[in-house]
């Protein structure tokens, strides 16, 4: 009666990993109980997510090395794995909100989120390409695109490109305050997408900053973002609050792979109670000001909440 916040399955966005092939699922070594699926099995998994009350999935595709280059050629392939996955989910389950990831790293021979030249990431060239990628995903049927690349000006460019291509109703969830974080390690294992040289500090944010997060989120809102995101979650609770108080669009948080791995590992050792720590963490995000939570715990938490 006196609880100020609550959790429900519709608060969650479930990240899902898809790979080429048939009838296979592979557990991600640094993410216990979390799998990469071939499309046929992913469709069953997405149906299961829907059945427990989840209404949005964030899709990531694993791209084989021979399809990677520096121009994101495969990212724009209308028959590419990502485009096929979007199409299939919307055909099978039109009620599920489909949010494909937009960034070059899974497609990049350098493992970077943009185009590389002489050891630098080219902002404006990357933005043009990412905007084309957004249109390609919209053509496949995406409800919202989710740019995680952190190039400057990409939200405005995507909004314009989507509108011009006739996708005025396709939304944008912007990874606005995305920090250069070591918590992304297990995710990079899942997609085999670790940067080949250097790090992502020239485009992702400095963990020391909070005013910059507000500035990034406000810019994205002005450029047309429908949801702004803070990422990672746990070490950035104050950033969620600060962003929430300074934008008027919904705020999401990404409870990232490393945060998932920490809880799973401690629970495996018998050092923490997995279910209780998971729910305490998730309600913490709501209390900090998040409207939506992207989390690898989405299914497990939803099942628990409806028990």
Q: Which residues are catalytic?
A: 178, 231
Please give the residues from 244 up to 263 whose contact with ligand PBG meets the rule CB under 6 A. Answer: 256-257
Minimum CB separation of residue 220 from ligand PBG in Å reads 16
Q: Is 236 in the site for ligand PBG (CB under 6 A)?
A: no
- Three-class DSSP category at 265: helix
Tokens of 99: 């949010």
Q: Is 12 in the site for ligand PBG (CB under 6 A)?
A: no
As a whole number of angstroms, the distance between CA 46 and CA 48 comes to 5
Q: Is 187 in the site for ligand PBG (CB under 6 A)?
A: yes
Q: Which stretch binds ligand PBG (CB under 6 A): 5-13, 118-126, 182-190, 281-289?
A: 182-190
- The answer to whether 162 touches 134, Cβ cutoff 8 Å, is yes
Minimum CB separation of residue 147 from ligand PBG in Å reads 9
Minimum CB separation of residue 181 from ligand PBG in Å reads 8
Q: Which of 105, 220, 221, 223 binds ligand PBG (CB under 6 A)?
A: 105
Q: Count the site residues for ligand PBG by CB under 6 A.
A: 12
Minimum CB separation of residue 18 from ligand PBG in Å reads 14
Q: Is 176 in the site for ligand PBG (CB under 6 A)?
A: no
Q: Is 110 in the site for ligand PBG (CB under 6 A)?
A: no
What residues line the site for ligand PBG (CB under 6 A)? 101, 103, 105, 113, 148-149, 184, 187-188, 200, 256-257
């Amino acid at each position: 009666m006196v609880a100020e916040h609550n959790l429900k399955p519709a608060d969650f966005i479930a990240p899902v990993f898809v790979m080429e092939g048939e009838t296979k699922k592979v557990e991600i070594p640094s993410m216990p109980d979390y799998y990469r699926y071939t499309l046929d099995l992913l469709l069953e998994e997405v149906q299961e997510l829907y059945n427990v009350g989840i209404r949005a999935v964030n899709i990531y595709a694993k791209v084989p090395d021979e399809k990677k280059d520096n121009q994101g050629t495969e990212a724009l392939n209308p028959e590419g794995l990502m485009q096929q996955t979007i199409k299939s989910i919307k055909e099978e389950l039109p009620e599920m909100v489909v949010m494909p990831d937009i960034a070059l790293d899974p497609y990049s021979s350098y493992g970077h989120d943009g185009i590389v030249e002489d050891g630098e990431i080219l902002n404006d060239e990357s933005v043009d390409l990412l905007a084309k990628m957004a249109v390609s995903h919209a053509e496949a049927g995406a409800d919202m695109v989710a740019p995680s690349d952190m190039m400057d000006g990409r939200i405005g460019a995507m909004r314009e490109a989507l509108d011009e291509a006739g996708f005025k109703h396709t939304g944008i969830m912007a990874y606005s305050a995305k920090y250069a974080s070591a918590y992304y390690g297990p995710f990079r294992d899942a997609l085999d997408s670790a940067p080949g040289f250097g790090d992502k500090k020239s485009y992702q944010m400095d963990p020391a900053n909070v005013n910059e997060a507000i500035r990034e989120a406000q810019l994205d809102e002005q450029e047309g973002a429908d949801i702004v995101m803070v990422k990672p979650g746990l070490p950035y609770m104050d950033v969620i609050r600060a962003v929430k108080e300074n934008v008027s669009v919904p705020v999401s948080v990404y409870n990232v792979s490393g945060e998932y791995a920490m809880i799973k590992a401690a629970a495996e050792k018998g050092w923490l109670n997995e279910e209780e720590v998971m729910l305490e963490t998730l309600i913490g995000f709501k209390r900090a000001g998040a409207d939506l939570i992207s989390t690898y715990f989405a299914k497990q938490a939803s099942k628990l909440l409806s028990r």
